[in-house]
Amino acid sequence: MTVKSGLEGVVAATTSISSIIDDTLTYVGIGIDELAEYASFEEVVYLLWHRKLPNKDQLKELASQLADNAELPEEVITYLKSTNLKNVHPMTVLRTVISMLALYDKNAEAMDSDSNYLKAIQLQAKVSTFVAAFSRIRQGLEPVAPNKDLSYSANFLYMLTGDKPNAIAEEAINKALVLHADHELNASTFTARVCVATLSDIYSGITAAIGALKGPLHGGANESVMKMLAEIGEIENVESYIQEKMDAKAKIMGFGHRVYRGGDPRAKHLKEMSRQLGAITGELKWYTMSEKIEELVTTQKNIPPNVDFYSASVYHSLGIEHDLFTPIFAISRMSGWTAHILEQYENNRIIRPRADYTGPEKNSYIPIEERA
Ligand code: SDX
């Protein structure tokens, strides 16, 4: 048996949710460039769940379902206020809170499609409220209740800051959420599908996916990119810092991709957003440093940036704390994870590959007295 390292190139499922063919990403066949340009995140959530764009009434209904279910259970707020949030990563707390949502969902074990769809709505509605509440409570501030009159993206920034965002900030978050929503069989989505393929519940699938996304080789990369930019500090230091990394054959966060070879089609949208936000905030240096890093890495190693690279300077320009970057990825990918979980339940078979055994053969039990 030959092992495909990292399951590279292995087709492990069928899906009608998103596709990556010849470096082109589509959600249900609609190109990511069009979606980034025109779609609201609510439209994308509906598209991923129902495999079609919503009409006006359907969009209005989904938007109000997300708004009506955005509040967190009081027990979750109490838990957050009673925990020292400074000593734990928000992705770890997110995993805990998803499990708490299961505790307070009397329908948690129901596996019929209607119940699972309602859980998907609850999870999508509450994940952004959690990230904002986590940030506020960690700063010693009261959480801000969701505002039903705002879009999903604007509401997230409002709950985070207490102020209604300006148009460019709302557009930036909306675009970032659209771009991160789904990505075929990425590691965290595959994790979710493996988990629920045992017919485990959606909450278990989502906590498993959150665990996978947290890693710096996956969703955790955006926080690592910002850490790298902060370490470099100024444009003058970029060349020596990156050259040292490349000479040491170290991984440069925000670059490379398992599937894309000619480049991640999402990166250009976040690059432009980073430039626009940098110009508005007067802090263009994060963009110019990122651009310089991209020039060095792509020319010397021929490895293009991925979705995580410019998202770091976008979120920083919006004043978002750096360890919230991956939780924001989770806010968006909650739509893709739930879509894939619902799809897995539709036509399910347990996912159970084989392993090539390399341990000792013909071994036997030795009484403890005779062991070295
Ligand atoms: C995401 O899969 C998805 O769809 C994920 C995602 C999504 O939307 O869900 O797109 C989101 O996770 C994006 C990726 C974020 N991670 C990073 O930015 C971390 C840095 N990137 C690398 O760790 C890496 O490129 C991966 C993890 C993204 C891909 O890993 P692979 O396919 O296993 O590639 P590899 O590590 O085997 O690298 C192949 C070669 C190696 O050189 P050699 O050892 O063969 O000489 O390319 C080199 C690597 O050293 N390489 C890099 C590099 N990425 C690959 N060298 C320096 N810096 C890098 N970032």
pLDDT tens, 70-97? Answer: 999 999 999 999 999 999 999 999 999 9
% of the chain with per-residue pLDDT over 90: 99
CB distance 359 to ligand 1 below 6 Å: no
Please tell me if the CB atom of residue 9 comes closer than 6 angstroms to any atom of ligand 1. Answer: no
Binning pLDDT at 50, 70 and 90, where does residue 1 land?
confident
Please tell me the distance between residue 218's alpha carbon and the centre of ligand 1 in angstroms: 9
Q: What are phi and psi of 24, to 5 degrees?
A: -110, 125
Return the structure tokens found at 190: 């595959």
pTM over 0.90, yes/no: yes
Nearest protein CA to atom 57 of ligand 1, as residue: 251
Q: What are the residues facing 18 on neighbouring strands?
A: 27
The mean pLDDT of 313-331, rounded to a whole number, is 98
**Residues 232-248: tens digit of each pLDDT:** 999 999 999 999 999 99
Catalytic residue status for 316: no
Give the tokens for residue 246. Answer: 């490349």
**Is it the case that residue 8 has pLDDT exceeding 80?**
yes
Residue 175 pLDDT greater than 90, yes or no = yes
Tell me if ipTM is over 0.85. yes
CA distance 223 to 246: 20
Dmax over CA atoms of the chain, in Å, equals: 76
- The pLDDT value recorded for residue 279 is 97
The pLDDT value recorded for residue 2 is: 84
- Which residue puts its alpha carbon closest to atom 46 of ligand 1? 249
- Note if 57 is an active site residue: no
Q: Report which residue type is found at 322.
A: H
Per-residue pLDDT tens digits for 23-59: 999 999 999 999 999 999 999 999 999 999 999 999 9
**Tokens 């409570």 label which residue?**
137
| C-alpha 258 to ligand 1 mean position (Å) | 6
6 lines ligand 1 (CB under 6 A): yes
CB 157 within 8 A of CB 318: yes
Q: 217 C-alpha to center of ligand 1: Å?
A: 7
